[in-house]
């Protein structure tokens, strides 16, 4: 009986070790990948206001937010703020990591290009994503042409097009007469009553759940929204909690004399 107990404990220990290793390996290359930029654009397109947009990205069943930047075992609440300069809008998505710490996650830059035309892109913050991680709406233009390889065999050629987002409800909301610039009323410790944080999912599970968002929104290396980036740059919020990649979270503490202490915190195991 004693030998059986020892054997069971040994098996349990090995199983637990493998589970922890799998949990460590099941992490994105960049922490920001736990927030779906494609999903954020999909919800932004559907929203009738920025308040509605903020609520939708913070709902678990929409499969957009899986971030836990302060490593407390619960999902971070994402706040939305608009920065407006003439016909330029920058929708900033951020989260508070403490009462004084705020980290931008991504920005949606919107530029009006005509009376009824506008373009937009969402870009992940460089602290959380690879440099120049940009996502935009995706559409293709199909043309039927005569085949060069033989008679009566038509060929279909496809080319990507820049999507006009002017008729999106969210965009019309921003450019409506009398629009008042939106700044989320929520902050650290003051969240909406309806919001219930949940434990982060394993990255492989989360990545699969938001896969459908990637059908109509794709990544590009081209900056089309240029002026909006310049408007946003001097107003960027960057926390002293730096989260870069699979290695974990680096928390930088400053004392009264200005001396810094760097503390490495490990990822938490046992997530769904």
**CA 189 – CA 246 distance, rounded (Å):** 28
Check: CB of residue 40 under 8 Å from CB of residue 57.
yes
Which segments of the chain are extended strands (E)? 79-85, 88-96, 102-114, 117-124, 134-137, 139-145, 155-161, 217-220, 241-243, 249-254, 260-265
Give how many domains the chain has, as a whole number. 1
Q: Is a pLDDT exceeding 50 seen at residue 267?
A: no
Q: Does a structural domain hold residue 12?
A: no
Q: Does a structural domain hold residue 104?
A: yes
The whole-number average pLDDT for the span 170-194 is 96
Q: Does a structural domain hold residue 97?
A: yes
**CA 30 – CA 264 distance, rounded (Å):** 16
Determine the pLDDT at residue 253.
47
Q: Does a structural domain hold residue 49?
A: yes
Question: In sequence order, which residues have a C-beta less than 8 Å from that of residue 268 and are 6 or more positions away?
Answer: 71, 73
Q: Is a pLDDT exceeding 50 seen at residue 198?
A: yes
Of residues 162 and 79, more confidence is placed in 79
244 CB-side CA count, 13 A: 6
Q: Does a structural domain hold residue 18?
A: no
Determine the pLDDT at residue 156.
55
Domain that holds residue 66: 32-236
Q: Give the tens place of pLDDT for each residue, 15-41.
A: 443 333 445 568 888 889 999 999 999
Q: Does a structural domain hold residue 189?
A: yes
Task: Name the pTM for this structure.
Answer: 0.79
Q: Give the tens place of pLDDT for each residue, 230-266.
A: 999 999 988 876 554 554 445 444 444 545 444 444 4
Which segments of 33-167 are extended strands (E)? 79-85, 88-96, 102-114, 117-124, 134-137, 139-145, 155-161
Q: Does a structural domain hold residue 56?
A: yes
Q: Does a structural domain hold residue 4?
A: no
- Both structure tokens of 120: 């937009």
Beta bridge mates, 110: 89, 120
């Amino acid at each position: 009986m004693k030998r059986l107990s020892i054997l069971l404990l040994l098996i349990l220990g090995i199983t637990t070790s493998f589970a922890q290793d799998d949990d460590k390996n099941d992490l994105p290359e960049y922490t920001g990948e736990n927030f779906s930029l494609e999903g954020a654009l999909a919800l932004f397109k559907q929203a009738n206001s920025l308040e509605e947009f903020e609520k939708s990205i913070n709902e678990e069943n929409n499969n957009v937010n899986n971030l836990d930047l302060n490593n407390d075992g619960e999902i971070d609440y994402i706040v939305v703020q608009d920065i407006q300069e003439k016909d330029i809008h920058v929708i900033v998505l951020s989260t508070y990591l403490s009462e004084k710490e705020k980290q931008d996650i991504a920005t949606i830059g919107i530029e009006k290009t005509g009376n009824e035309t506008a373009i937009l892109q969402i870009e992940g913050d460089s602290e959380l994503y690879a440099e120049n991680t940009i996502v935009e709406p995706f559409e293709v233009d199909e043309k039927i042409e005569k085949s060069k390889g033989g008679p009566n065999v038509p060929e279909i050629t496809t080319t990507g097009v820049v999507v006009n987002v002017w008729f999106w409800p969210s965009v019309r909301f921003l450019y409506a007469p009398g629009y008042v610039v939106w700044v989320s009323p929520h902050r650290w410790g003051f969240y909406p009553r309806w919001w219930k944080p949940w434990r982060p999912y394993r990255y492989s599970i989360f990545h699969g759940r938001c896969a459908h968002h990637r059908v109509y929104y794709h990544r590009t290396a081209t900056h089309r929204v240029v002026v909006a980036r310049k408007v946003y740059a001097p107003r960027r919020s960057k926390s002293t909690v730096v989260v870069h990649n699979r290695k974990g979270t680096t928390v930088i503490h400053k004392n009264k004399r200005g001396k810094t202490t760097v503390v490495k915190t490990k990822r938490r195991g046992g997530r769904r």
